[in-house]
Amino acid sequence: MTLTLAAVDVDPAMQTLRLEVREFITEAVITGRFVPDCDSWLTGWVPSFSAELAARGWIGMAIPKRYGGSERGSLERYVVIEELLAAGAPVAAHWIADRQIAPALVRFGTERQKQQYLPKIASAHSFFALGMSEADAGSDLAAIRTKARKIEGGWRLNGAKLWTSGGHHAHAMIVLARTSPVDVQARHSGMSQFIVDLPAPGVTINPILLMSGEHHFNEVVFEDAFVSDDAVLGTIGEGWKQVTAELAYERSGPERLLSTFPLLTSMFRRLQATADPPHAELVALGTLLSRARSLREISMSIASALQRGEAPDVAAAVAKDLGTRFEQDVVDTALRILDGVCADASSSEELERLLSRAALHSPGFTLRGGTNEILRGVIARGMGLR
Amino acid sequence: MNDYELDQIAETVDKILTKASATDLREGGEGRVNNTALELFTQAGLRRVAVPGSAGGSDGELPYLAVILKRLGYHAVNVPLLEDHLAAELLAPHMADVPQAMMTISNRSNLLLTRVDGRHVVSGSCRHVPWSRTASLVLALAQSEAGQGLVALPAAQASVNFHHNVAGEPRDHLTFDAAAPVAMVADSRAVLELRLRVLLYRSLTLLGAGERALDLTITHVTDRTQFGSPLSRRQVVQHYIAEMFGALTATRAACNAAVSALSGGTGPASLAAALATRIEADRMASVVARLSHQLHGAIGFTQEHPLHFSTTRLTAWRQDDLSETACALELARLVPGLGGPWNTLTARRVG
């Protein structure tokens, strides 16, 4: 695997865009439109902020203009989202729709689906959730049991999805379901994707609280829920292929390394305000920054490779394995070096507040989007070891 | 410059080093320069590839040198090209006729430049100087009343104590007593160039050494059978390999970015890039040396197995120039001046 250097940091147009986003963020923080937070792409569900971004053309940047997008391409999108993530801006509401659903619709959607959903995604009027994992299908996604049964004019869904982030707010979700029984010789066949508008009869959404007490996860239960034939995304039986086609995007984006960056920034700020910062703390932060630098290079190189039409799956697995462990290292470093600072959600100190959020969210970093252990298997397979 | 040209260079370097390593037992090893390889590099115009033609170079660009250094690290052949190249490129703007004979550098020197009877003299010591016994000149950091600068000293004027690093490469201690410098560079920019370039160059050779250790390890775990199946079938073995691959990927990414940053000029941003790269390379060296030995079992730390050529270099080269901790400290101190951590990462690559 070799990666060519990304063009993101050397292109003056990208730099202009970056400064534009930065100016917007600074102004938004000063006027109190958002308070920087860690893991803001999961926790920061603020539709009004999403609408502000949409008004500037910063959502749906990879969506063609005729479907309401700004068609600026995935590298420009990269610049916008990494600036927002590094600043801890609330981008959760539109995150899944913008990152995953829009590209899937562009690639696999019918003309009718594109016209129905893409303009609303780009204008931040349609937020999506993802229905993949189930109680008995975590890392082993092919073990899903949710079924879609063909009936006149459509399909009946039965089963339950788990860990569905934002399902209680979303306007729609994409559900992966079995459309034919498991074939032990080809477990990945016989799955299909459906677009389910929410709320809907036969669909019940039950909250599952995180250990912090926050409500992001849900269980989504389908009891004879009806979807029409128009709701099939792509081709019946091709669900697995369609899901994995987007994995490199899902695994290599800046959200896989920047979830705790606001905490790192805050730690640097604290040291800068200290008259004679302890060497050990400077060394710890310098080491983290060197890692952040490499990870960002890897992530941007993958974005460039994807733009060129390549499928760098192994590189994406490396990006996520290293990136999410770095996110945890930031938290661990904070816990290790900060004397007299305590993780405290209700603190008036930014650092204590950020640390509280980061510490409570950190176990999820190396789990979501494919556990790191599964990813290391992907890397080993890419190297011919299995 | 394009990817094709870089591939061509890598191929030529691989040919030279494969040919040369066959003679290595005779010529190299035991701290001797592999002269076969050195001659072939010179003939191919690859010895001072990114040095101006006026100083005996090939007028190439930094990415050419980067490829060569990486492959040198991979093959573990004794050619002190890194040190010679760095000395030549730093002296080129300041010296009319840069010597064609091999040169080296010392960035851990304790030298004082003074004036005695109207002439400049240098006294003091340099510890662990790479390959000085085969060098004509030593380009070293020296302190004077005016501040820090570089001095080029004839190696013949030093009294020498022979030492080696754990890879068997010469790292001699030199003492100078009122030696006459053949060139002086009283320029803080040149001092910075020496400091940051050696960090990047050493990172590239470390990267090559790490890549070789991983290749050897993959071969071993695929070939070696225990409990009735190859080691590579075990999940923990696969995870160790993935860990090594990840560390190498991070180092490669850091090196690419630093080559780009240094091509843009010299300043705090390129210093930050070089420091960050070296931190990554040193951490990689730690991970790769440890896990490649663990996966090789007993055979890996014998003379007869080639793994030690790579792992002793990973250990030795980490210790050259500046420690990982010193790099991290300096990097963290640069951050406020560069506008905070995020700006440090995203600043346009100029200077």
DSSP string, A233-290: ES-TTBHHHHHHHTHHHHHHSGGGT-TTHHHHHHHHHHHHTSSS--HHHHHHHHHHHH
Residue of A288, A289, A378, A386 best to disrupt the B interface, most CBs of B under 10 A: A289
Residue A253 backbone phi and psi in degrees, to 5: -70, 170
pTM of the model: 0.95
Strand partners of residue A225 = A157
Cross-chain CB nearest to A289 (options B239, B331, B346)? B331
Q: What is the pLDDT of residue B21?
A: 74
- What DSSP state is assigned to residue A191? E
Q: Is residue B37 a contact partner of residue B17, using CB atoms and an 8 Å limit?
A: yes
3-class DSSP assignment, residue B111: strand
Q: Which residues of B touch A334 (CB under 8 A)?
A: none
Q: Which residues of A touch B330 (CB under 8 A)?
A: 286
Q: What is the pLDDT of residue A1?
A: 47
More confident call, B263 vs B48: B48
Q: Is residue A160 a contact partner of residue A148, using CB atoms and an 8 Å limit?
A: no
CA B92 to CA B55: how far, in whole Å?
6
- What DSSP state is assigned to residue A97? I
- In A, minimum Cα distance to B239 occurs at A376
Q: Which residues of B touch A269 (CB under 8 A)?
A: 340
Interface of A with B in 264-283 (CB under 8 A): 264-265, 268-269, 271-272, 279, 282-283
- In A, minimum Cα distance to B323 occurs at A283
In CATH, the architecture of B3-94 is Orthogonal Bundle (1.10)
The alpha-helical segments, DSSP class H, found in chain B are 3-22, 24-27, 35-43, 62-75, 81-91, 188-223, 235-263, 268-296, 307-318, 324-334, 341-346
A246-382 folds as Butyryl-CoA Dehydrogenase, subunit A; domain 3 (1.20.140)
CA B151 to CA B181: how far, in whole Å?
6
Domain boundaries, chain B: 3-94, 103-186, 189-346
Question: Hunting for tokens 């562009």 — which residue is that?
Answer: A106
Cross-chain CB nearest to B254 (options A1, A268, A293)? A293
Cross-chain CB nearest to A385 (options B238, B342, B346)? B238
Q: What is the pLDDT of residue B3?
A: 83
Kindly determine whether residue A264 and residue B336, on different chains, have CB atoms separated by under 8 Å: no
Q: What is the pLDDT of residue B264?
A: 84
Residues 6+ apart with CB under 8 A from A379: A314, A317, A318, A321, B238, B241, B242, B245, B246
The pLDDT of B124-139, averaged and rounded, is 96
Residue B348's identity, in one-letter code, is R
State the number of CA atoms in the 13 A half-sphere of B224 facing the CB.
17
Q: What is the CATH number of domain B189-346?
A: 1.20.140.10
State yes or no: pLDDT of B85 exceeds 80: yes
Q: Which residues of B touch A296 (CB under 8 A)?
A: 345
CA B36 to CA B42: how far, in whole Å?
10
Q: What is the pLDDT of residue B118?
A: 93
Kindly determine whether residue A377 and residue B222, on different chains, have CB atoms separated by under 8 Å: no
CA B112 to CA A359: how far, in whole Å?
51
Q: Which residues of B touch A293 (CB under 8 A)?
A: 254, 257, 273, 276, 280, 344-345
Interface of A with B in 113-152 (CB under 8 A): none
| A9 in contact with B, Cβ within 8 Å | yes
Going by C-alpha positions, the residue among A19, A125, A119, A111 that lies closest to residue A70 is A119
Average pLDDT, chain B: 94
Kindly determine whether residue A286 and residue B222, on different chains, have CB atoms separated by under 8 Å: no
The pLDDT of B263-273, averaged and rounded, is 91
Going by C-alpha positions, the residue among B150, B69, B143, B148 that lies closest to residue B112 is B143
State yes or no: pLDDT of B31 exceeds 80: no
Choice among B24-33, B34-43, B188-197 with the minimum mean pLDDT: B24-33
Where b means 16+ CB within 10 Å and e means fewer, A201-237 reads eebebeeeeeeeeeebbbbbbbeebbbeeebbbbebe
Q: What is the pLDDT of residue B350?
A: 46
Q: What is the pLDDT of residue B20?
A: 80
Kindly determine whether residue A385 and residue B333, on different chains, have CB atoms separated by under 8 Å: no
Q: How far A203 CA sits from the closest chain B CA (Å)?
A: 40
A12-126 folds as Butyryl-Coa Dehydrogenase, subunit A; domain 1 (1.10.540)
Q: What is the CATH number of domain A130-238?
A: 2.40.110.10
Strands B137-144 and B103-106: parallel
Choice among A8-17, A236-245, B122-131, B182-191 with the minimum mean pLDDT: A8-17
Per-residue pLDDT of chain A (386 residues; tens, 9 = 90+): 455 545 566 688 899 999 999 999 999 999 999 999 999 999 999 999 999 999 999 999 999 999 999 999 889 999 999 999 999 999 999 999 999 999 999 999 999 999 999 999 999 999 999 999 999 999 999 999 999 999 999 999 999 999 999 999 999 999 999 999 999 999 999 999 999 999 999 999 999 999 999 999 999 999 999 999 999 999 999 999 999 887 778 889 999 999 999 999 999 999 999 999 999 999 999 999 999 999 999 999 999 998 888 888 999 999 999 999 999 999 999 999 999 999 999 999 999 999 999 999 999 999 998 999 999 999 999 998 97
Cross-chain CB nearest to A3 (options B253, B280, B332)? B253
Going by C-alpha positions, the residue among A187, A190, A193 that lies closest to residue A173 is A193
CA A142 to chain centre: 21
Strand partners of residue A223 = A158
Cross-chain CB nearest to A376 (options B242, B252, B324)? B242
Kindly determine whether residue A10 and residue B349, on different chains, have CB atoms separated by under 8 Å: yes
3-class DSSP assignment, residue B330: helix
CA dihedral of B183, B188, B189, B190, whole degrees rounded to 10: 30
State yes or no: pLDDT of B29 exceeds 60: no
3-state secondary structure B135-199: CCEEEEEEEECCEEEEEEEEHHHCEEECCECCCCCEEEEEEEEEECCCEEECCHHHHHHHHHHHH
In what helix (H) or strand (E) does residue A83 lie, and over which residues does it extend?
A: helix A74-86
Rg (alpha carbons) of chain A, rounded to whole number: 21
Q: What is the pLDDT of residue A231?
A: 98
CA A290 to CA B253: how far, in whole Å?
11
Domain boundaries, chain A: 12-126, 130-238, 246-382
Residues 6+ apart with CB under 8 A from B309: B76, B167, B212
Q: What is the pLDDT of residue A73?
A: 86
Q: Which residues of A touch B283 (CB under 8 A)?
A: 287
Q: Which residues of B touch A384 (CB under 8 A)?
A: 218, 222
Count A/B contacts: CB-CB distance under 8 Å: 153
CA A228 to CA A232: how far, in whole Å?
8
Residue A10's identity, in one-letter code, is V
Q: What is the pLDDT of residue B351?
A: 40
Kindly determine whether residue B332 and residue A286, on different chains, have CB atoms separated by under 8 Å: yes
CA B138 to CA B104: how far, in whole Å?
5
* CATH classification (class only), B103-186: mainly beta
Residues 6+ apart with CB under 8 A from B214: B241, B244, B245, B248, B288, B292
Residue A366 backbone phi and psi in degrees, to 5: -90, 10
Enzyme catalytic residues of A: 250
| A291 in contact with B, Cβ within 8 Å | yes
| A383 in contact with B, Cβ within 8 Å | yes
Residue of A25, A26, A252, A293 best to disrupt the B interface, most CBs of B under 10 A: A293
Kindly determine whether residue A380 and residue B257, on different chains, have CB atoms separated by under 8 Å: no
